[in-house]
Amino acid sequence: MALGFQDPWVSGTRFLFKRENQGATQFPLIDLGAMDPVGPTLTVTKIEAKDGGTGRLKTLDERVTDFVEEYTITCRNLSVENLAILYLANRPSSVTQNANTTKTIPTSPSTVFIKMFKGELVKLHDDDTARSLLYNFDAIGGLYNGTVAFATLTAISRSAKTLTVTGDITASLTPNDSVIVDRTGLANAKNSRSYKIVSSSFGGGNTTIVVADTPASDETAISDQVVYENGGLIYNQGTDWLPYRVDHGIIQITAGSAIADGATNVTVRSSLAAYSGARQIKPKSAAGEIRGDGFFIFARGNNAEVTYREARVAIRPASAAIGVDDYSTVSFTVKVLTTLGAEQPAGRLVQAIGAVPTNS
């Protein structure tokens, strides 16, 4: 067998994509990342001129009327840029959530957006006009309604199960009631929760509150807040509500809760963790199909030979497989477009690295 003019391929594939700019919005060139090797699906449509004068059809001529070049690419890179394409969205936008901010979330604004029901879960929203869902919580301190007051927390003892606050607030503390420890000022966010009061005493300018619940760790020389009842009601953590998933901002109202079904007069004390950057995607925000310049890289022999396929393309989502027992994947369909009148109407194919086989 003569091999000098043959070029067998064992090839990997890479795909890079530069979306068309939209007005003043500029899009970067992105690498869609690790993907399964892929080749083109070529669909040729033709017409045939036939003659049946002899009693048998004979093909006299044929013409190609359409030639479609498509690729189905499957990536193992679920970056925000890839997810924006998957959800047919514009470029990911920036979103910022500040850290360690004790946030008061009332459930009775002008438009009610949280209702609580016994035995059910509750997802916490912001108190902004849009009633935005909140994520990535550092702590959920507690729930209350009515009037409360605040005292400065200076120390927490895990072994003694005590909270130390400045001033004398013993008259406002009743055994079996609860106090809320806010997140701001704590070294350990897990110390922020509601604590059931066992007893309280005043001495040396401070109130020592003995609690039934064990703090996560000791804290000293801190300047935090304790929320206590001042005519209102602080709900007990465990009896009235539970932190179902703190990171997701989900709580559960217990079946025997003192919170009435459908209640909208509850306030939540909580703290948000920080995140920022271009991590927000708005599905279906793209204006129609996503188009731009695509670059397939077909590499062989550890990049000893590389062929490039470049073209103007349209890319659309095909599917996604999110799994726990294998790498998750997203799939796209890439279709080569034709630019009428261009010198290279459908791009070009270039073997840019490696020797080109001879013709003999």
Judge whether 248 and 238 are in contact, CB under 8 Å: no
pLDDT in the model for residue 184: 85
Residue found under tokens 């897990």: 190
* pLDDT by residue, tens only, the chain of 360 residues: 455 678 888 888 999 999 998 778 788 899 999 889 898 999 999 999 999 888 899 999 999 999 999 999 999 999 999 999 999 998 899 888 887 667 777 765 444 457 889 999 998 888 777 778 888 999 999 999 999 999 999 999 999 999 999 999 999 999 999 999 999 889 999 999 999 999 999 999 999 999 999 999 999 989 889 999 999 999 999 999 999 999 999 999 999 999 999 887 888 999 888 889 999 999 998 877 899 999 999 999 999 999 999 999 999 999 999 999 999 999 999 999 998 888 888 999 999 898 887 766
- The values of phi and psi at residue 191, to 5°, are -75, -15
pLDDT tens digits, one per residue of 224-255:
899 999 999 999 999 999 999 999 999 999 99
pLDDT in the model for residue 107: 65
pLDDT tens digits, one per residue of 287-308:
778 999 999 999 999 999 999 9
Q: How many CB atoms lie within 10 A of CB 355?
A: 9
Judge whether 220 and 177 are in contact, CB under 8 Å: no
How far apart, in whole angstroms, are the C-alpha atoms of residue 346 and residue 336?
A: 7
Residues 257, 196, 221: CA angle, nearest 5 degrees: 135
Tokens of residue 114, six digits: 């949280």
H or E element that contains 80: helix 80-86
Judge whether 216 and 209 are in contact, CB under 8 Å: no
Domain residue spans in the chain?
A: 11-92+282-353, 101-272
pTM over 0.75: yes
CA 296 to chain centre: 28
pLDDT in the model for residue 16: 95
